[in-house]
C-alpha cells in the first residue's frame, strides 16, 4: 500500500483545484522572474533609482519583510526560551512565514546589488564597522537557523517519514531545537537592530541620524522592538487569512488572544519610545544640523506631516490601545483591524527610514528628490509574495502545520 | 579603516575653490571626464544619472533684476575626514571595505573590483559625490584609443567617485622615490580640474603644509565648507566674499546667520571651545 | 572574515564582531553534527535489534 503524501486525518482540496490555484499564482511569479532576469541581464538601469536614490523600493521591501517576519524569532523566543505552551500551536506557521520572509529578503538583495556575483565579498572582505555587514551576517545565519527549524516539519510528511534517517533526524532536531531557537533569537536581535542602524548611523542624513548607546543608534533598539511587536501580528493575520481561504479553523482562539495581548503591550511600549525618540530628534538632533522639524515635511508633493501622524498615531497608538484591552482583542473584527493598522504603521516607518531619508534635500539650493519605482522594481517586489503564497500552499497541503487542525475539524 | 602606520608622515590633501573667480565654464568637468575615463551617454540631461566626479551647480540669490547675482559651485568629492579622522560618512558604512580612508594623503579611495554595488555609501554621502554605473561604459568608436592608461575604467554595477586624481599622486611619488626625495613639490601633484581651470579658481595642495597655497587660502575669513554642521569635516574649502553664497552652503534655522567673515578654522575652534 | 584575509586587524572590533559570528556558527554546526550523529546511532541500534518498523 502506498503512503499518501497528504497527512492523515485532515482534508485538502482536490488536486485539480490546487493545480489551478498554483497556476494563477505561478503566472504572477513568472512575471516577477522575468523582471528579475531583466535586472540581472540588463543591469539596474531597469529601475527608476538614480544617484540620489541608491536605496529605494527594494531596500524598503527588505526592511518591511524582515520586520513582519519577526514573528518567527519572537514566537521562537516565547515558545522555546520562555516556555509558553500556547505559542507551540502556531510556531510551525511562524517559522514558515519567517522562512519565506527571510528568503525573500535575500532574493531581493541579490537583485538589488549591482554585481550579484560579488555578493560574497560582504562576508569575505567584511568591514566590521558597517551596519550592513552585521545585517548580512545575521540575516544569512538566521536564515540557516530558520531552515533548520523548518526541516523537522518537512520531515514529518507521511512519505518522507518512512525513510529511517529522515524519521530519526526529525526527532533529534526536535530534541535540540531550543538551542537553535536561542541562537536564532540572538541573531535576530542583532540583525533587526542593525537594519535600524543602517539609516540611524548616517550622520550625513539629518532625517535618519540618531544618537545612541555605544555603537548603536536608538533606531537599532526601536527596530528590534517594533519587529518583535508587529511580527506576531503578521503571523496572526496570515493564519486568519489561511483560515478564511481554507474555510476551517486551524488555531484555537486562545492562541490568538495570548499573542495579541503580548503584541499589544510590546507595541505600546515601542510607540512610547518612538514618540520620545521623535521628540528628541525634532528638538535636538535635527536643529543642531541646521534643520527645523517642518523642513522634513514641507515643500514636496508627498511627504507631509500626515505620514508621521499615520505612522505613530494610526499605525501605533490606536492598534496598541485596541490590543491591550480585553474587549478589543476578543472582537475578531477589531483584532484584525488593529493588526492591519500596526502592520501599515511599521511598513510606513521602514518606508520613511529609507525613502524619505533619500528624498530630503541637504544643500539649501536643491529640490526634494522624488522617486517612483519602475514596473521591474514592482514586479520583483511582488515576486516574493507570489513565491510565499506558493510555499504556504504547498506546506499547508502536504505538512501538518497546525497541530490543532485535527482537533478543531473532527470528522475529516 | 586601517590605522596610520607610525612611520608614515600623514598629509592632508585638499582643495580651495574661489567661487568669486569661477565663471561656470565647465572646463574642470571636461578635464575630469578625459583624465579619469568617465563614461557618458547620449542623453545627459538627468544629472542624477550622469557620472561626473566634479559637478558645477549654478545658484542665484533669488532676487529680481538688477540685484540678481549668480554663483557657480564646482563640487568634487569632499574627501571628508569625518567626525574623527578616517570616519568619513561613506567609508564607515561600506560593508566590503571597498572604500577606504588613505591615511598618508587623507584621500577617500574606491576599489572598483571590490565594490559589489550595494550603494550604501551613496545613501551615506550628503553631497551626492558618489556615482553608480547604471549602464555598461560605452565610448564612441575611436574614443577608446584616447582612454587614460593610468586609470582603470569601471564596470557596470559599481560605485565610483572623485579620487583627487590619485594616480597622479602615485606617479609623483614614483618620481620622487627615484630622485631619492621624501617630499613632493606643490606643482608635482595637481588634480586635472585644478590644472584645467582657466581662472585659477581651483587651488589644490597639502592643507597642513605652509609651503602650499591652500594652507593660507583655507584660513581666509571668507572660507567656508559645504554642510559644515553635519560634521563631515570636508577637505574642500570654498571662498566667497558674498554672504548669500555662504548661506547657500549650509542649512540655518530661522533667525540664524552664517558666521560670515570668520573662516572655518576659527569656527571649528569656537565650536571646540563652546563644548 | 578570516585572519588570513589582508584587511583583518587583531583589534577589539574584529574580535567582538567575528567572535559573535563564529560563536553562532559553531553552535549551529555542533547542533547539526549532534543530530546527524545521533540519527546514525539510532538507526544502527535499531538495525542491531533487527527491527525495521520506523513508526514507533
pLDDT in tens, A308-321: 999 999 999 999 99
pLDDT, position A74:
87
Can you count the helices (H) and strands (E) in chain A? 19, 2
Kindly give, in sequence order, each residue whose CB lies less than 8 Å from that of residue A147, ignoring residues fewer than 6 positions away.
A99
Chain A hits for C43, CB-CB cut-off 8 Å, are 164-165, 168
Query: Quick check: A136 pLDDT over 70?
Result: yes
Range of the domain at B233: 13-274
At A354-366, the pLDDT tens digits run 999 999 999 999 9
Query: Quick check: B68 pLDDT over 70?
Result: yes
Indicate whether this complex's ipTM tops 0.85.
Answer: yes
pLDDT, position A297:
97
Which of B87, B91, B93 to substitute to test the interface with A, most A CBs within 10 Å?
B93
Q: At what angle do helices A15-42 and A375-398 cross, to 10 degrees?
A: 150
At B108-132, the pLDDT tens digits run 999 999 999 999 999 999 999 999 9
At A70-102, the pLDDT tens digits run 888 888 888 888 888 888 889 999 999 999 999
Q: Please judge whether B117 and A114 are an interchain contact, meaning their C-beta atoms are less than 8 angstroms apart.
A: yes
Other CB atoms closer than 10 Å to residue A326's CB: what's the count?
9
Per DSSP, what are the bridge partners of residue B110?
B99
Note whether residue B42 is domain-resident.
yes
Rounded to the nearest angstrom, the minimum Cα separation between B80 and chain C is 22
Q: Please judge whether B156 and A43 are an interchain contact, meaning their C-beta atoms are less than 8 angstroms apart.
A: yes
Range of the domain at A296: 15-408
Query: Residue A46 is part of a domain; what is its CATH number?
Result: 1.20.1630.10
Could you tell me whether strands B223-224 and B55-60 are parallel, antiparallel, or unpaired per DSSP bridges?
Answer: unpaired
- What's the rounded mean pLDDT across residues A155-170? 90
C9 CB within 8 Å of a chain B CB:
yes
How many domains does chain B fold into? 1
Please say whether the beta carbons of A50 and B119 come within 8 A.
Answer: no
Please say whether the beta carbons of C56 and C43 come within 8 A.
Answer: no
C-alpha C53/C-alpha C56 separation (Å) is: 7
C-alpha B74/C-alpha B57 separation (Å) is: 6
C15 CB within 8 Å of a chain A CB:
no
Query: Quick check: A16 pLDDT over 90?
Result: yes
A375 CB within 8 Å of a chain B CB:
no
A145 CB within 8 Å of a chain C CB:
yes
Q: How far apart are the first and last CA of chain A?
A: 21
Rounded to the nearest angstrom, the minimum Cα separation between A25 and chain C is 35
- What's the rounded mean pLDDT across residues B144-163? 94
Query: Quick check: A63 pLDDT over 50?
Result: yes
Rounded to the nearest angstrom, the minimum Cα separation between B249 and chain A is 7
Return the residue of C nearest to B1 by Cα: C7
pLDDT, position B270:
63
Q: Cell digits for A62?
A: 527588505
Percent pLDDT > 90 in chain B is 81
Note whether residue B6 is domain-resident.
no
Give the confidence band of C54 by pLDDT, cuts at 50, 70, 90: very low
Kindly give, in sequence order, each residue whose CB lies less than 8 Å from that of residue A173, ignoring residues fewer than 6 positions away.
A148, A151, A152, A155, C35
Of B117, B251, B256, the CB nearest to A115: B117
pLDDT, position B4:
53
Note whether residue B3 is domain-resident.
no
Note whether residue B147 is domain-resident.
yes
SS (H, E, C) B157-210: CCEECCCCCHHHHHHHHHHHHHCCCCCCCHHHCCCHHHHHCCCCCEEEEECCCC
Query: Residue B167 is part of a domain; what is its CATH number?
Result: 3.30.70.20
Note whether residue B34 is domain-resident.
yes
Q: Cell digits for B265?
A: 578654522
C-alpha A257/C-alpha A13 separation (Å) is: 29
Please say whether the beta carbons of B113 and B155 come within 8 A.
Answer: no
Chain A hits for B118, CB-CB cut-off 8 Å, are 112-114, 122, 132
Query: Quick check: B7 pLDDT over 60?
Result: no
Chain B hits for C9, CB-CB cut-off 8 Å, are 2-3
Chain A hits for B231, CB-CB cut-off 8 Å, are 203
Q: At what angle do helices A164-175 and C12-49 cross, to 10 degrees?
A: 130
Of C24, C42, C55, the CB nearest to A141: C24
Q: Please judge whether C9 and B2 are an interchain contact, meaning their C-beta atoms are less than 8 angstroms apart.
A: yes
Of B96, B128, B253, the CB nearest to A52: B128
pLDDT, position C56:
42
At C7-40, the pLDDT tens digits run 788 888 888 888 888 999 999 999 999 999 999 9
How many domains does chain A fold into? 1
Could you tell me whether strands B236-239 and B13-18 are parallel, antiparallel, or unpaired per DSSP bridges?
Answer: parallel
Q: Which residue has the cell 543530530?
A: C35
Please say whether the beta carbons of A323 and A261 come within 8 A.
Answer: yes
- CA dihedral (A73, A77, A79, A80) in degrees, to 10, reads 110
Mean pLDDT of chain A: 92
Note whether residue A226 is domain-resident.
yes
C-alpha B41/C-alpha B52 separation (Å) is: 11
Chain C hits for B97, CB-CB cut-off 8 Å, are 7
A141 CB within 8 Å of a chain C CB:
yes
Q: Is the dihedral of CA A128, A130, A135, A136 positive or negative?
A: negative
Q: Is the dihedral of CA B90, B154, A54, A32 positive or negative?
A: negative
pLDDT, position B274:
58
Return the residue of C nearest to B96 by Cα: C7
Rounded to the nearest angstrom, the minimum Cα separation between C43 and chain A is 7
pLDDT, position B75:
97
Query: Quick check: A380 pLDDT over 60?
Result: yes
C-alpha B1/C-alpha C7 separation (Å) is: 9
Note whether residue A163 is domain-resident.
yes
Give the confidence band of A1 by pLDDT, cuts at 50, 70, 90: very low
Lowest mean pLDDT, pick from A183-187, B214-218, B225-229? A183-187
DSSP 8-state symbol, A410 = T
Which of A130, A142, A172 to substitute to test the interface with C, most C CBs within 10 Å?
A172
Could you tell me whether strands B223-224 and B70-75 are parallel, antiparallel, or unpaired per DSSP bridges?
Answer: unpaired
Contacts of range A387-392, beta carbons closer than 8 Å, 24 or more positions apart: A387/A29, A387/A32, A387/A100, A387/A103, A387/A104, A387/A107, A388/A97, A388/A100, A388/A101, A388/A104, A389/A25, A390/A22, A390/A25, A390/A26, A390/A29, A391/A96, A391/A99, A391/A100, A392/A96, A392/A97, A392/A100, A392/A238, A392/A242
Please say whether the beta carbons of A219 and A57 come within 8 A.
Answer: no
Note whether residue B101 is domain-resident.
yes
Kindly give, in sequence order, each residue whose CB lies less than 8 Å from that of residue A305, ignoring residues fewer than 6 positions away.
A294, A297
C-alpha A392/C-alpha A182 separation (Å) is: 25
Q: Which helix (H) or strand (E) holds B236?
A: strand B236-239
Q: Which helix (H) or strand (E) holds B110?
A: strand B107-110
At A194-249, the pLDDT tens digits run 999 999 999 999 999 998 888 789 999 999 999 999 999 999 999 999 999 998 99
Query: Quick check: A183 pLDDT over 70?
Result: yes
A371 CB within 8 Å of a chain B CB:
no
Q: Cell digits for B7?
A: 612611520
| φ, ψ (nearest 5 deg) of residue B238 | -120, 150
Angle A143-C19-B109 (CA atoms, 0-180°, nearest 5)? 85
Q: Cell digits for A377?
A: 522594481
Note whether residue B7 is domain-resident.
no
C-alpha A350/C-alpha A387 separation (Å) is: 22
Amino acid at each position: 500500500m502506498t503512503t499518501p503524501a497528504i497527512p492523515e486525518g485532515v482534508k485538502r482540496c482536490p488536486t485539480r483545484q490546487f493545480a489551478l490555484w498554483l497556476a494563477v499564482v505561478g503566472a504572477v511569479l513568472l512575471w516577477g522572474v522575468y523582471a528579475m532576469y531583466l535586472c540581472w541581464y540588463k543591469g539596474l538601469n531597469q529601475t527608476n533609482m538614480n544617484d540620489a536614490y541608491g536605496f529605494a523600493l527594494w531596500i524598503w521591501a527588505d526592511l518591511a519583510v524582515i520586520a513582519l517576519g519577526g514573528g518567527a524569532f519572537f514566537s521562537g523566543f516565547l515558545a522555546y526560551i520562555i516556555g509558553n505552551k500556547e505559542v507551540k500551536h502556531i510556531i510551525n506557521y511562524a517559522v514558515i512565514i519567517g522562512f519565506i520572509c527571510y528568503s525573500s529578503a535575500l532574493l531581493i538583495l541579490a537583485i538589488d546589488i549591482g554585481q550579484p556575483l560579488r555578493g560574497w565579498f560582504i562576508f569575505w572582505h567584511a568591514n566590521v564597522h558597517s551596519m550592513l555587514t552585521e545585517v548580512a551576517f545575521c540575516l544569512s545565519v538566521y536564515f540557516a537557523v530558520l531552515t533548520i527549524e523548518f526541516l523537522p516539519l518537512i520531515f514529518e510528511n507521511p512519505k518522507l517519514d518512512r525513510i529511517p534517517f529522515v524519521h530519526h533526524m526529525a526527532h533529534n532536531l526536535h530534541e535540540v531545537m531550543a538551542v537553535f531557537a536561542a541562537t536564532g533569537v540572538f541573531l535576530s536581535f542583532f540583525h533587526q537592530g542593525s537594519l535600524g542602524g543602517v539609516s540611524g548611523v548616517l550622520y550625513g542624513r539629518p532625517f535618519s541620524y540618531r544618537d545612541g548607546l555605544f555603537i548603536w543608534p536608538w533606531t537599532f533598539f526601536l527596530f528590534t522592538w517594533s519587529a518583535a511587536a508587529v511580527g506576531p501580528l503578521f503571523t496572526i493575520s496570515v493564519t486568519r487569512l489561511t483560515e478564511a481561504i481554507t474555510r476551517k479553523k486551524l488555531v484555537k482562539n486562545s492562541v490568538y488572544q495570548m499573542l495579541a495581548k503580548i503584541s499589544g503591550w510590546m507595541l505600546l511600549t515601542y510607540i512610547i519610545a518612538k514618540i520620545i525618540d521623535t521628540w528628541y530628534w525634532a528638538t535636538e538632533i535635527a536643529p543642531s544640523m541646521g534643520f527645523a522639524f517642518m523642513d522634513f515635511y514641507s515643500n514636496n508633493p508627498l511627504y507631509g506631516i500626515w505620514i508621521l501622524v499615520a505612522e505613530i498615531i494610526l499605525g501605533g497608538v490606536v492598534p496598541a490601545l485596541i490590543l491591550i484591552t480585553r474587549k478589543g482583542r476578543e472582537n475578531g473584527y477589531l483584532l484584525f483591524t488593529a493588526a492591519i493598522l500596526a502592520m501599515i504603521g511599521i511598513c510606513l516607518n521602514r518606508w520613511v527610514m529609507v525613502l524619505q531619508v533619500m528624498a530630503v534635500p541637504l544643500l539649501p539650493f536643491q529640490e526634494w528628490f522624488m522617486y517612483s519605482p519602475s514596473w521591474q522594481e514592482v514586479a520583483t517586489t511582488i515576486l516574493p509574495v507570489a513565491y510565499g503564497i506558493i510555499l504556504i500552499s504547498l506546506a499547508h497541503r502536504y505538512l501538518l502545520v497546525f497541530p490543532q487542525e485535527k482537533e478543531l475539524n473532527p470528522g475529516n | 579603516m586601517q590605522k596610520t602606520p607610525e612611520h608614515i608622515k600623514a598629509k592632508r590633501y585638499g582643495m580651495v575653490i574661489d567661487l568669486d573667480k569661477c565663471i561656470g565654464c565647465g572646463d574642470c568637468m571636461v578635464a575630469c571626464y578625459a583624465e579619469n575615463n568617465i563614461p557618458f551617454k547620449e542623453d545627459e540631461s538627468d544629472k542624477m544619472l550622469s557620472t561626473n566626479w566634479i559637478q558645477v551647480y549654478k545658484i542665484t540669490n533669488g532676487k529680481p533684476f538688477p540685484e540678481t547675482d549668480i554663483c557657480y559651485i564646482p563640487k568634487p568629492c569632499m574627501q571628508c575626514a569625518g567626525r574623527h579622522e578616517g570616519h568619513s560618512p561613506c567609508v564607515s558604512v561600506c560593508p566590503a571595505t571597498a572604500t577606504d580612508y588613505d591615511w598618508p594623503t587623507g584621500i577617500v579611495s574606491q576599489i572598483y573590483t571590490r565594490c559589489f554595488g550595494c550603494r550604501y555609501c551613496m545613501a551615506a554621502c550628503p553631497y551626492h559625490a558618489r556615482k553608480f554605473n547604471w549602464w555598461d561604459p560605452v565610448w564612441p568608436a575611436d574614443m577608446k584609443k584616447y582612454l587614460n592608461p593610468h586609470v582603470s575604467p569601471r564596470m557596470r554595477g559599481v560605485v565610483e567617485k572623485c579620487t583627487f586624481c590619485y594616480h597622479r599622486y602615485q606617479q609623483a611619488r614614483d618620481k620622487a622615490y627615484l630622485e631619492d626625495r621624501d617630499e613632493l613639490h606643490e606643482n608635482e601633484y595637481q588634480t586635472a580640474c585644478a590644472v584645467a581651470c582657466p581662472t585659477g579658481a581651483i587651488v589644490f595642495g597639502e592643507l597642513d603644509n605652509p609651503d602650499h597655497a591652500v594652507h593660507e587660502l583655507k584660513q581666509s575669513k571668507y572660507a567656508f565648507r559645504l554642510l559644515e554642521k553635519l560634521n563631515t569635516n570636508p577637505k574642500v574649502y570654498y571662498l566667497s566674499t558674498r554672504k548669500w553664497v555662504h548661506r547657500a552652503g549650509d542649512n540655518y534655522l530661522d533667525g540664524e546667520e552664517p558666521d560670515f567673515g570668520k573662516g572655518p578654522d576659527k569656527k571649528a575652534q569656537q565650536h571646540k571651545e563652546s563644548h | 572574515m578570516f585572519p588570513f584575509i589582508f584587511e583583518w586587524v587583531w583589534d577589539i572590533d574584529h574580535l567582538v564582531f567575528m567572535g559573535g559570528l563564529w560563536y553562532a556558527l559553531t553552535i549551529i554546526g555542533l547542533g547539526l553534527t549532534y543530530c546527524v550523529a545521533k540519527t546514525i546511532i539510532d538507526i544502527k541500534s535499531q538495525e542491531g535489534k533487527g527491527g525495521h518498523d520506523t513508526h514507533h
